[in-house]
Amino acid sequence: MVGIIMGSISDLKVMQEAIDILKEFGIDFEIDIVSAHRTPEKMVDYGKNARLRGLKVIIAGAGGAAHLPGMIASLTTLPVIGVPVKSSNSIDGWDSVLSILQMPSGVPVATVALNGARNAGILAAQIIGTSDTTVGTKLEQYKEDLKVKVAEMSLEAQKMNAIK
């Protein structure tokens, strides 16, 4: 249901967080290495046929020049979520962030934070959850669990303050 693509296997360390959260929500996904620069024909095929294969959302991670998310978005009508990856050849990740963020009008890419694959997975789940009640219910529970975690941290902080 969700396509997770990245420009290089080295991006998998970051993209694993999207994989993990989709597993947590019980959402099917596929993973592939699709390089905008080294395998442009594969990228075109992937983008043009994503909907036919049953995908609903694509998460695309890329570092450096980070053309993959935008190029995929130019080839499909599916929502594309871009994950800028801080790679060994990047300018502290800013090149990736700006390459994904600054898309021209008509070719949107939802962009998450640098190395923010977990949020990309959550956003993909939210998109799917608009029409899948099971996923929507799991998201509601996830948000409630976040509130509980913050309340627990608040109590812990208050205890630490009382000790002083």
Q: Is the dihedral of CA 17, 29, 27, 103 positive or negative?
A: positive
133-163 vs 12-25: helix crossing angle, rounded to 10: 110
Residue 126, H or E segment: helix 117-129
| 53 assigned ligand-binding residue | no
d(CA 47, CA 58) in angstroms, rounded, equals 9
| 132 assigned ligand-binding residue | no
Residue 57 has which token pair? 């959302």
| 38 assigned ligand-binding residue | yes
Closest CA to 64 of 92, 26, 103: 92
d(CA 136, CA 83) in angstroms, rounded, equals 23
Distance of CA 128 to the CA centre of its chain: 13
Q: Which residues are annotated as a binding site?
A: 8, 11, 38
- Please give the annotated binding residues for substrate, written as ranges: 8, 11, 38
